[in-house]
Structure 1
Amino acid sequence: MTRDEFNAHCAAKPATTHVVQWGNADVWKVGGKVFAICGWADDAPAFTFKVTEMAFEILSDMPGLRPAPYLASRGMKWIQHHAAPGLNDTELAQHIDASYEMIAAKLPRKTRTALGL
């Protein structure tokens, strides 16, 4: 997945917002909460997303994936796809979708209603 494809995928999700921060990273949010980040690792895009506890245990050991720097060190279950082989584009998109759903589901009901979720 390219950075442009990542941004297009995230932009297609309902009620998302995009900011560029943290050293030119594309940060995608729903209801003001981050669900996906694309930054750089060794001149290649690095994609970061939230996962379940089980997925964190499985994905952390896969080549090209790692616990997300900063986020995982604080006990959060976030994974970073930073090198090959990692995930294929379909799998990466599915994990980004799941991250969006997890973040959106934890928003207060009033916020979800206001966002049309």
Structure 2
Amino acid sequence: MTRDELLAYCLAKPGAWSDQPWEGDYVAKVADKIFAFTGETSIGVKAGANRDEADEWIRQYPDDASVMAYIGRSGWNSLRLDGAIPDEELRDAVDASYELVVAKLPKKQRP
């Protein structure tokens, strides 16, 4: 799966939109919250409600999943796009990240 394919998948979610908060870095947002960071070779997602849940990705894919810098303690992981993680699981990770972020939005901001 390519970055563009995964970004398109992210943007097909209800209320999702693309932003470029830093030059060259694209994120997918719902309302004003990021639910996916898209890099050339990886995607950053909210992989669990907490670090313990997110660590399951690292246990399952130690060479292709890692804790994201700065926000990893809150359950964010970076998942490699061209590694052992199947495309379907990458899409599932985006779905879960989107749902976790939407659940924290005020009801009037939810799509």
Task: Using structure 1 for the length normalisation, give the TM-score.
Answer: 0.81
Q: What CA deviation, in whole Å up to 9, does each residue of 1:45-82 have, x standing for no partner?
A: 2110002234312112322110112211xx21101013
Q: Give the ranges of 4+ consecutive aligned residues of structure 1 lying more than 6 Å apart after TM superposition.
A: none
In 2, Cα distance between equivalents of 1:22 and 1:70: 16
Structure 1, gaps ≥5 residues long: none
Distance 1:83-1:111 versus aligned 2 partners, 3 A rule: closer
Whole-Å Cα distance in 2 between the matches of residues 47 and 37 of structure 1? 5
Q: CA deviation at 1:99?
A: 0.4
CA deviations over 1:78-115 (Å, ceiling 9, x no partner): 01013653411100000101100110111001222xxx
AA aligned opposite 2:4? D
Task: Work out the CA distance in 1 between the residues paired with 2:31 and 2:21.
Answer: 17
* 5+ residue gaps, structure 2: none
Q: What is the aligned partner in structure 2 of residue 111 from structure 1?
A: 109
Give distance in 2, aligned partners of 1:24 and 1:111.
27
Contact kept? 1:18, 1:26, Cα under 8 Å:
yes
Output the amino acid matched with 1:102: L
What does 1:1-117 correspond to in 2, within 5 Å?
1-40=1-40, 45-52=41-48, 53=50, 54-61=52-59, 62=61, 63-72=63-72, 75-82=73-80, 84-112=82-110, 117=111
After TM superposition, give the deviation of residue 26 of structure 1 in Å.
1.4
1:24 to partner: Cα distance: 0.9
The separation in 2 between residues aligned to 1:67 and 1:79, in whole angstroms, is 5
SS of residue in 1 equivalent to 2:34: strand
Identity, % of aligned pairs?
Answer: 33
Query: Retained in 1: the 8 A contact 2:43–2:81?
Result: no
- TM-score, normalising length from structure 2? 0.85
Following the alignment from structure 2 to structure 1, what is the Cα–Cα distance between the partners of residues 4 and 104?
Answer: 28
C-alpha distance in 2, partners of 1:67/1:88?
19
RMSD: 1.7
